[in-house]
Amino acid sequence: MTHFFEHGYALLIGVNENDTQKLSLPAAEKDVDALYKVLSNPKRCGYRAGNIKLLKGDDATRAGILKGLKWLKERLNEDAADNATVWFFFSGHGAKEGKGKTTSYHLIPKDFDQEIGLASAIRAQEVAVAVAKMKPGRLIAVLDCCHAEGMNIKGDVEFFAEALPPSAFEAIFDSESKEGHQKNLEALQQGTGRAVLSSSSASESSFVRSDRKMSVFTYHLIEALTGYASVNDKATEVLVSDVMSYMTRIVPETVKRDYGCAQTPQYQISGNFPLALLAGGNGIQKGENLPHPLEVSGDEPSREKDVFIDQKGDGAIAVGDHSIAVGKGGVMIGGNATNVRINTGNQIS
């Protein structure tokens, strides 16, 4: 039986290219592609593919990211549920400006203009406020910034030397803090809340795996979503508390082993809530081997019940799972094309 993580939405941003060439980060594209794959697969996290927006390359500009936030808001406005889950994931460069109380953090888009400076970036506070105003029941912001392979940046853009801390997105906790500790207790009981996870502390870099497939941080995040973080063999969902615990333990171990350096994920959390289905809602049985994080069986992402699957020939129409229409005017509704004979004309199965 196919399960879906209903009311789950994700905006995944990977700034792999940059108009300022030395800011390009090829691993960022690999990060978002792999995360999209595991989130959208019904055998893993079970998000509807139509509820995930992927921004990379030319789509990851300042205007593109702001448009993505608008898309996210529109999807939530269409959802009448009060327990919607929202992901905001950013893999790319972050930047810091100022000190102390005047410190501000920025996300660097594809069209960052070195001459204009941070005015061409996006303030992290602006993004956090925009997402918080959407008022989803559950919200997680994940920031994989300060990539080690981009740390040859010096001189006039040396403000890229620090990662974005969870405090860069503290605005998403503002509404909860105003209502005090009782609000947090209610969130814990109702499975709602807020979480921010950053790939490293301020003085550290975010390393790419030794096989260059993607960042260490995002790889282990996908591991967590695949079941490696689960502490309950009866669990059918991935809890944010399990993910945070796993990430702060496994990422430092991997980076220390492979590079002899420190990388310690930082997080802030209020409440405990599910982020996704675990193994398509079936969970991982005791003694069962965990699947490889990047080898997702059935690579096709989740689809809506009735969609156009394939069509061949002029005017061919196909509606329903695995339907195929072949030939001029061919029509098929439902069924499997391997089980029926279709030439041209109308065929209903």
Domain annotation covers residue 296: no
Residue 244, domain CATH: 3.40.50.1460
> Looking at the structure, do residues 88 and 161 belong to the same domain, yes or no?
yes
How many structural domains comprise the chain? 2
| 348 and 212 together in one domain | no
Distance CA 318, CA 334 (A): 8
Domain identity same for 323 and 218 = no
Q: Are residues 277 and 311 located together in one domain of the fold?
A: no
Task: Give the pLDDT confidence score for residue 309 in this predicted structure.
Answer: 33
Report yes or no on whether pTM surpasses 0.75.
yes
User: Which structural domain, as residue segments, surrounds residue 96?
Assistant: 8-281
Q: Are residues 346 and 218 in the same domain?
A: no
Specify the pLDDT at position 303. Answer: 36
pLDDT given for residue 22 in this prediction: 79
On whether residue 61 sits in a domain, the answer given is yes
The reply to whether 237 and 324 lie within a common domain is: no
Q: Is 240 helix (H, G, I), strand (E, B) or coil?
A: helix
User: Is residue 48, in this structure, part of any structural domain at all?
Assistant: yes
Strand-pairing partners, residue 53, are: 11
Strands (E), the chain: 8-14, 52-56, 85-91, 94-97, 104-107, 122-123, 138-144, 193-198, 237-239, 266-270, 274-277, 310-312, 317-319, 324-326, 331-333
Output the pLDDT for position 299: 46
Residues of the chain with pLDDT under 70: 1-2, 147-162, 175-190, 297-349
Q: Looking at the structure, do residues 67 and 188 belong to the same domain, yes or no?
A: yes
Do 276 and 334 sit in the same domain of this protein?
Answer: no
Judge whether 3 lies within some domain. no
Q: Which residues contact 20 (CB under 8 A, 6 or more apart)?
A: 112, 113, 114, 157
Residues 204 and 275 in one domain: yes
- Distance from C-alpha of 252 to C-alpha of 262, rounded to nearest angstrom: 6
Report the C-alpha gap between 337 and 87 in whole angstroms: 37
pLDDT for 162 equals: 59
Q: What is the pLDDT of residue 292?
A: 85
